[in-house]
Structure 1
């Protein structure tokens, strides 16, 4: 029997991409609401209670409301918003870091943010291995396609075609910082410098490291080896060879959906500096692809089923 799946917020950017990844999959039977009932509280409550599992693709406050509407149903929930990423009782939905069994057995799973996905994939395993200090003041430079900002930012880029680059988060205190710090086990929140370019999708997350100043003075070769060991066997997260390094990393304006995550370690010849770099699709492993990965695990299916890798 097919699993009854309800996507609350199915017409938003993340919801639409999830539906695309579910096309042709007979393991799931989608519960759909007509346009005039999508925001009706009673209809949403009925759908959440009727579902075997639900995915919330909503703004934070609406996601909290959906959790309230689902109370008493026992329905497992995957929340793609940032409302519950560090909330008590919720499992952080990064299987490679948290453990696939933890995701599979959870009732409430919160999808990671797109930027934190890249940062945590790079830093968390190295902190766990003792190669990077949990007490270091890390910085993160990142660039994303505009779809990460939802329909509002998509419309802004369409209305202002001369804008080539948007730096934001200049007041600091970005909402992603809490999960970056908590899930990497850091003593301090990193300094985060996000930006957006006129490309629909794609993301590069860059963590510069002054190796000579770091406790223990780790070398790029050791960092790379630890990441390779940590993600050995993963079909979703890959680690690029340490050398030869490419001359540049590119994002395409017309990139196709991709649900993988590629990690790089670049080091200077004298061993004094390195850059940890993650490349991903902000709508893939950074959002909808991650939701599908978690959905698969929670339904007892191979985690990469339906993903574009």
Structure 2
């Protein structure tokens, strides 16, 4: 297996970094006030009652009981999603599953976990949590209230994840201490920011996480949401300093739970150095493992085989929750 050599992009999705250079990437210096910005938000979120409400879903699956779920996040924002319960065996652990910037139209039924309550929330403004005036277009969603750090949409999405953990615990008190998180791309970056402060999440899996190493993320060519932020920051340079508060690599350095990160050497939507910044920032004490993909956000030969190997690692990783 090897990284793609032919592609339709006007830039190199490896960003010119070889594997040794990617492994050497370190996170930027933390933005001043990073912890002071997030800790009070977490404490406030922890004090809220998410009031989860569950109803039968039109969807069905032979292995899972599918339910529609709603809960209340910060700012009384209604969050919608799905709850999957195993048809056989009890519930001994919980897993919150985040989505990419394309949103989510259905839960994933192929996650290799057992005896697990799976919560698939849709982050605010997207899919089942869409609400005007927030755009569902990633290029506009990522800019929503970007000029107001305390109101910026990414912070609200982190709070949605914290409240998802609260909702799972309210529904299944026995899973407290045995809750994991799995997030891809957008959900990976949000997951790192959330796990930096939420020790209720005992294990985390992040695949091709975004929002890592903002100084690089804001300068490297991309077809992802970063392109919209780069264009905005050129007109509003004061944004650059503020975005340091939403750096998932800075957050990753604060995660103490065991982590499995899957990062790509070639990715047109999330620059590989930014992904590796998230993985490399994890402290050695967190017992983390890094799985290297040939490419992310792009179909390539051998992709199915690599993802099968990754799924097996995910099965074993969350199996010890």
Structure 2 length as normaliser, TM-score?
0.27
For the pair shown, the structure with the greater C-alpha radius of gyration is: 1
The TM-score normalised by the length of structure 1 is 0.28
